[in-house]
Amino acid sequence: MANKINNSLSLTFMVALLSISFMSCHQDVRTDTDTLDSGTIHISVDESFKPVIDSEIQVFEALYPKAKIIADYKPEADCFKDLMKDSTRMIIVTRALTTDEERFYKDTLSYTPGSSLVAYDAIAVIENREMKDSLYSMPEIRGILEGSTGDKTLAVFDGVKETSTLRFVVDSVLRGKTLDPKKVFAENGSQEVIDYVSTHPDVLGFVGVSWIGNPEDTSQASFLTKVRIVSLQCTCPEQSYIKPYQANIILKRYPMVRGLYYILKENYSGLGTGFSTFLEHDRGQKIFSRAYLAPAKMSLNIRVATNE
């Protein structure tokens, strides 16, 4: 009987030790987690924003040396798939969550991921430098993409599946009509689109302006020696032809403007919260501005040129 009691006490003691050990390990994980300005997190970013988000991360990590943000650049649809993974804390994309997506995460996580519009960018249309300086209306662009015109011009996009650039064109330019597979094809990313257009006349490339719109960036300046940004008909009374310059993005004069959002899957004050706050406030907004995007949280003065 005594042996049974001793054995029972020993078993109880061992279970207690294991419980304490488990709780201790669990507490260590939470104690060592990231903070607003330290730790390591993984984020997934729409590939069409790589140049500007690289700049944002570089400055943030310089300000906070204990912070490490590992960005994986990919098509937008893949970013949303990554948001379902435990390893991905944040995504940076061109739209917020839908109502159905918010409901799903609320049911799954017991909270809805936070999101915010932090900037506006545009889809730039580029052509080979050997072509004459072209002017296009949106009906003409639509006709090329759907194959309804006799134009021999082809169109190349920044990915073969579910990129934000392609989604915007299908939703906002074609408006229910389909792309002509004989006229439209894709390269594997924005850099490849620029490279292809630089060596092929009679091809229009579609890329995020973050890749091509900053003349102060040395790599983008080199791109502009090989390709030219096409002028599109303005969404304004005078119907002039304009390029996706910053003022035209801010005033929504350029016809292909879209938003840039972060979606954050974090319900405590971790590194994702720190980085999202950085994007929304002064330094992060100035980086968007210097990249010739339109910051959504910071007012910019637009000076109208005069002949005086």
Q: 109 and 65, same structural domain?
A: yes
Q: 174 and 238, same structural domain?
A: yes
Match 């996580």 to its residue by tokens: 109
| Residues 254, 229: Cα–Cα separation, whole Å | 13
Q: What is the pLDDT of residues 29-79, one digit of tens each?
A: 333 489 999 999 999 999 999 999 999 999 999 999 999 999 999 999 999
Ranges 16-30, 40-54, 167-181, 202-216, most confident: 40-54
Q: Is residue 308 part of a domain?
A: no
| Residues 21, 46: Cα–Cα separation, whole Å | 42
What's the whole-number average pLDDT of the chain?
A: 87
The pLDDT value given to residue 305:
46
**Hey, CA dihedral for 30, 31, 33, 36, is it positive or negative?**
positive
| Residues 261, 279: Cα–Cα separation, whole Å | 10
Q: Is the pLDDT of residue 272 over 80?
A: yes
Query: In this structure, are residues 158 and 77 in contact, taking their beta carbons and an 8 Å threshold?
Result: no
Looking at the chain, the number of H-run helices and the number of E-run strands are 11, 13
Q: Is the pLDDT of residue 239 over 90?
A: no
Q: Is residue 214 part of a domain?
A: yes
Q: Is the pLDDT of residue 17 over 90?
A: no
Query: In this structure, are residues 43 and 69 in contact, taking their beta carbons and an 8 Å threshold?
Result: yes
Nearest to 81 by CA among 191, 159, 168, 162: 162
Query: In this structure, are residues 232 and 241 in contact, taking their beta carbons and an 8 Å threshold?
Result: yes
The pLDDT value given to residue 22:
34
The pLDDT value given to residue 238:
82
Q: Averaged over 204-224, what is the pLDDT?
A: 91
The pLDDT value given to residue 4:
39
- Range of weakest confidence among 84-98, 147-161, 164-178: 147-161
Total count of domains within the chain: 2
Q: Is residue 249 part of a domain?
A: yes
Q: Is residue 205 part of a domain?
A: yes
Show the CA angle centred on residue 52, arms to residues 48 and 53, nearest 5°: 85
Q: 178 and 156, same structural domain?
A: yes
| Residues 60, 71: Cα–Cα separation, whole Å | 13
Residue, of 304 and 189, whose pLDDT is higher = 189
The pLDDT value given to residue 302:
59
Q: Is residue 215 part of a domain?
A: yes
Helix-strand-coil percent breakdown of the chain, rounded to 5? 40, 25, 35
Domain with 222, as residue range(s), is 122-257
| Residues 199, 289: Cα–Cα separation, whole Å | 31
Q: 119 phi and psi, to 5 degrees? A: -165, 170
Q: Averaged over 243-257, what is the pLDDT?
A: 95
Q: Is residue 159 part of a domain?
A: yes
Q: Averaged over 224-230, what is the pLDDT?
A: 92
| Residues 48, 104: Cα–Cα separation, whole Å | 27
CATH number at residue 285: 3.40.190.10
Q: Is the pLDDT of residue 292 over 80?
A: yes
- Range of weakest confidence among 79-88, 151-160, 193-202, 282-291: 151-160
Q: 262 and 172, same structural domain?
A: no
